[in-house]
Structure 1
Amino acid sequence: MKKHRDILVIEDDEDDREILQEIFRDLGYKNHIIFFSDSTEALEYLRKPEIDPFIVISDINMPKLGGFELRNLILKEEIFMDKDIPYIFISNAQDDRSVKAANKLSAQGYIHKGSDYNNYKEKIKDLIDYWVENIGSFKSRRA
């Protein structure tokens, strides 16, 4: 089932990747977590026809190709049209402009990282549990 497929995390900050690794380890999901520090490498990986992850979790502010730009490319490429991959943004930004930009790109979620580990862990748990429960019940929105 799709809910046991890989979780892709696109995060350029090493400390943030380590925190997410710890969160996923603590939560004990069976999914393999694949981390990308470079969004362009993540895009190339996602373009492979055989790649169909459970979910993509992407930071917004990254060098080379930011999270919003990455999502925009994914929405425009035909190879992604039938993959139905939930796309979630994570960011330290908590402003209305960022949330609105994420919504315009048909993101299925936006999580503020914050500084409280347990709160962040609970947000990630709620996110994954939601998609485990509902995968297949919804189709991704397309622009």
Structure 2
Amino acid sequence: MGFPSLIVDDPLLGLVSPEAEPYPNAEEPMKEPEFGVVVPLDAQKHTHTCPGCGGRLLHMVGKDGRDWYRCEHVKLCGSRMPACPACGVGLPIPSQTKGELVCTDCEEAQQACVSCEAGWLVERRGRYGVFLGCVRFPDCAGKAKLMKRA
């Protein structure tokens, strides 16, 4: 039993009833098969494709006031990225130059991660000292050696 009912209709009844609904669990048939989700223009500017599942990365404001992006499929994918380190709002996306990401807002360039190419490398400190690690950690474990400054 339950909802929706798993009881199969009689085959004879299927011959006299109209064809099946396009939305089997709908309460009433819908005339328009496309669900047009209206997204405000300001939100469209800050919506990008998730590198993990292909869904949308949605712009969020953290409790500490810093902006970041998370996948719309948060329970299934869980992909997240911080906003651009230069402007704090945009998201660096791949550019025509290989190995470089450019921010959608301030157009500041970041060094692309060598593993995922969706994240960028930031300075991190580990057991063996300072290194460059991907901002998508732990989703991406990409890293590179930090060049010694002269």
Task: Give TM-score, length-normalised by structure 1.
Answer: 0.26
More strand by share: 2
Higher CA-based Rg: 2
Structure of greater relative contact order (alpha carbons < 8 Å, 6+ residues apart) = 1
More helix by share: 1
